[in-house]
Chain A
């Protein structure tokens, strides 16, 4: 018994050591390990910018009061809008929106002071709703704090503060960077392992390997071990640079961060192993990886929140390890959550890994027919 465990360990170690050596000698792949997270981080961090700045707007201030001017100043200070014109009637503003001169207009009625006193909505934003991103940005302004201007108005204060708790400046990098870990890990982890066994088959190594006493599960475990370390390195690169370049805060405990990432890495690796037992060529393995990668980018909540998706899309999203990890990593990094609080997602990732490894080992036959 003890002897068989020792032999098992030796075989797993043999595979792992071999993978590491091969990886170190494959300069391009090794460079990709570092370059993929680096380049993608910069690309996504700067390019995918869902913060909208400097929307051209008009002001229609019919109150002509000091309060009105304060409100306009407060709106300007947000930098979300840039006041390009001052108009006198709502009709003029509508026409300007239709022409595309401006995207929105703030109309402050003559009765502004009375409305403030009665705690009613004080003004009206008319918005070009054709661009949802802009509409969303203006909607945010609807809740603009007027506490500095009218200190006696405190009724909405608490709700307002909660909505901007984790990302008060509403910078998308804060949300994108942790999400990027899920996307990049899916890409590299699934890709590496999906081609791992296919490559041995293509190069003819497999025929020799399967005439040796190695067991399928030993081969699988030996294959994924080196990539676990690579995955953790990639996570460190993304979060480290995200913290330095984009000032993404890391609020959670590092141990929970590492453990949570580890779970996702193993889940992704087993997914890659399953692919590698199905694909016959490296090209097929690549295509299947992209088949998994695309929904991970589009459906996991990386770009669009899950809440905005139809039910069927949500089911697909929940089946992807990336979706669960997206929640885990954002919660740990941004909100300082613990794995205990995220137990459902954690258990799902563990279950996926165990069942996935079993399926891969079952599917991997030591036969050629």
Chain B
């Protein structure tokens, strides 16, 4: 299992499948995560992101497939892996009835970090993650952003080479999310590989590489830029009135992957099989008794949400944050 270890990959998984009874949560998933990268899993809730992370950390045993994380065969060598990874769970999993410092001390002792080193690191992490002023406050009384910084601080206490972050920003406001990502890039700069799951498009776009997941499968994976450049559809915006009936009419065509309203505009994904999407759309609008002027219809460049939709045929919740 460890024979094909390539030092350029921090995570390698092949043919990963997880079934819970009749339900297949993850199906035939292949994954290569490059060292030092921030690698994102983008997908809606319930698409198998958390299940995949739990298999990669050895918490769940895969039904099929092989996993190699940092040269260790998982789940067999999961215990050895635990010293080298940090894990931030989706739900806040620190102790509400311990203070910020006490939570950090607890994790430090569990990892066997000696007292003086631990103290130094806790001070450092508390100042890095702006927790110093809350150090004597119970974790249960912190705000969403503060808790999430505490959870990240705890995950980093052991100075792991690899961080697993499962929807780290799901309960955090945009400003705090932005700060959080700055901190992730700092960690990445220091050589930490990060695997992060998200359902926010803007977050996915910040990753070095992403995998788009839907119903337990990876639909596409590449750098966000490559995914947007190579999108398998024309992205057209129509500026007109009475958008609802037009949208209904357009999405009945097989060539139209999706149509979404953005204020006064309709954003339409047209299959690459249509050579000239503008004239094709003008014609369709005419057909549906909804004539549109040429100056009101243009090709635009794809964003990540368009990529997501073109691969999955559905919109993600909370997609309004997209650029």
A residues adjacent to B (C-beta < 8 A): 6-7, 10-11, 13-15, 17-18, 21-22, 25-26, 203-214, 366-369
* Other-chain residue from A10, A22, A206, A369 in contact with B98 (beta carbon distance below 8 A): A22
The reply to whether B109 and A11 contact each other, CB–CB distance below 8 Å, is yes
| Chain A residue contacts of B105, Cβ below 8 A | 14
21 contacts across the A-B interface (CB closer than 8 A): A7-B112, A14-B105, A15-B110, A22-B97, A204-B91, A204-B92, A205-B93, A207-B91, A208-B89, A208-B94, A209-B93, A211-B82, A211-B87, A212-B111, A213-B110, A214-B110, A366-B79, A367-B59, A367-B75, A368-B54, A369-B60
Q: A6-B112, A203-B93, A368-B60 are in contact. List 14 more A-B contacts (CB 8 A).
A: A10-B110, A13-B109, A14-B106, A18-B98, A25-B138, A26-B97, A204-B93, A208-B89, A211-B58, A211-B85, A213-B79, A213-B111, A367-B75, A368-B54
In the complex, whether B202 has a CB less than 8 A from a CB of chain A is no
Confirm or deny: B288 has a beta carbon within 8 angstroms of a beta carbon on chain A.
no
A14 near B82 (CB under 8 angstroms)?
no
Residue-wise interface mask of B (72-88) relative to A, using a CB-CB cutoff of 8 A (1 in contact, 0 not): 00010011001101010
B87-122 interface bits toward A, Cβ cutoff 8 Å, 1 = contact, 0 = none: 101011111111000100111011110000000000
Check B57 for interface membership: any CB of A closer than 8 A: yes
Q: A203–B85 Cα gap in the complex (Å)?
A: 22
Q: How far is the CB of A256 from chain B (nearest CB, A)?
A: 35
Q: How far is the CA of A366 from the CA of B82 in the complex (A)?
A: 11
Question: Does residue B61 face the partner (Cβ distance < 8 Å to A)?
Answer: yes
With both chains docked as a complex, state the minimum distance between the C-beta of A209 and any C-beta of chain B, in angstroms.
8
A residues in contact with B61, CB < 8 Å: 367, 369
| B residues near A205, Cβ cutoff 8 Å | 93-95
**Whole-angstrom CA separation of A22 from B85 in the bound complex:** 27
Question: A367 with B102: in contact, given A205-B95, A208-B89, A213-B82 (CB under 8 Å)?
Answer: no
Contacts A208-B89, A212-B82, A368-B60 given: A203-B109 contact, CB under 8 Å?
no
Chain A proximity mask over B53-69: 1 for CB below 8 Å, otherwise 0: 01001111100000000
Contact present for A14 and B75 (CB under 8 Å): no
The distance in angstroms between the C-alpha atoms of A154 and B85, with both chains bound, is: 84
In the complex, which residue of chain A has the Cβ closest to the Cβ of B118?
A10
Looking at the complex, which one of B58, B89, B138 makes contact with A207 (CB distance below 8 Å)? B89
CB-based nearest B residue for A12: B109
CB distance B57 to A211 under 8 Å?
A: yes
Write out the residue numbers on chain A whose beta carbons fall within 8 Å of the beta carbon of B91.
Answer: 204, 207
Interchain CB contact under 8 A, A213 and B93 = no
Which residue on B lies nearest to A203, using beta carbons? B96
Q: Give, as a whole number of angstroms, the nearest-CB distance from A221 to chain B.
A: 14
Assess the A25–B97 pair: CB atoms within 8 A.
yes
In the complex, what's the smallest C-beta–C-beta distance from A35 to chain B, in angstroms?
A: 21
**Which residues of B are found within 8 Å of A214, using beta-carbon distances?**
110
A178 to B102, CA, bound (A): 39
Given known A-B contacts A22-B98, A211-B85, A368 and B109 have beta carbons under 8 A apart? no
B98: nearest chain-A partner, CB-CB? A21
Contacts of A206 in B (CB 8 A): 93
Contact A367 B107 (CB under 8 A): no
Chain A residues closer than 8 Å to B109, beta-carbon distance: 10-11, 13-14, 17
The reply to whether B110 and A207 contact each other, CB–CB distance below 8 Å, is no
Query: Shortest beta-carbon distance, B194 to chain A, in Å?
Result: 15
Docked complex Cα distance between A205 and B110 (Å)? 14
Query: Which of A6, A22, A207 is close to B59, meaning CB atoms less than 8 Å apart?
Result: A207
Most buried by A among B89, B94, B105, B109: B109
Once bound together, how far apart are the Cα atoms of A212 and B112, in whole Å?
A: 10
Return B153 CB to nearest CB of chain A, in Å.
Answer: 13
Provide the bound-state CA to CA distance between A15 and B107, in Å. Answer: 10
How far in angstroms is the closest Cβ of chain A from B322?
A: 30
The 5 closest A-B pairs by CB, nearest first: A14-B109, A208-B93, A7-B112, A204-B91, A211-B87
Return chain B residues, CB-CB under 8 Å to A15: 110
Return chain A residues, CB-CB under 8 Å to B94: 205, 208
Q: How far is the CA of A252 from the CA of B154 in the complex (A)?
A: 50
- What are the residues of chain B within 8 A of A6 when measuring CB–CB? 112
Report the minimum CB–CB distance from A12 to chain B (whole Å). 9
Contact B57 A14 (CB under 8 A): no
Q: Which of A21, A204, A212 counts the most chain B CB atoms within 10 A?
A: A212
A6 to B41, CA, bound (A): 39
What are the residues of chain B within 8 A of A14 when measuring CB–CB?
A: 105-106, 109-110
| Nearest Cβ on chain A to B312's Cβ, whole angstroms | 27
Given A14-B109, A367-B59, A368-B60 in contact, is the A204-B89 Cβ separation under 8 Å?
yes
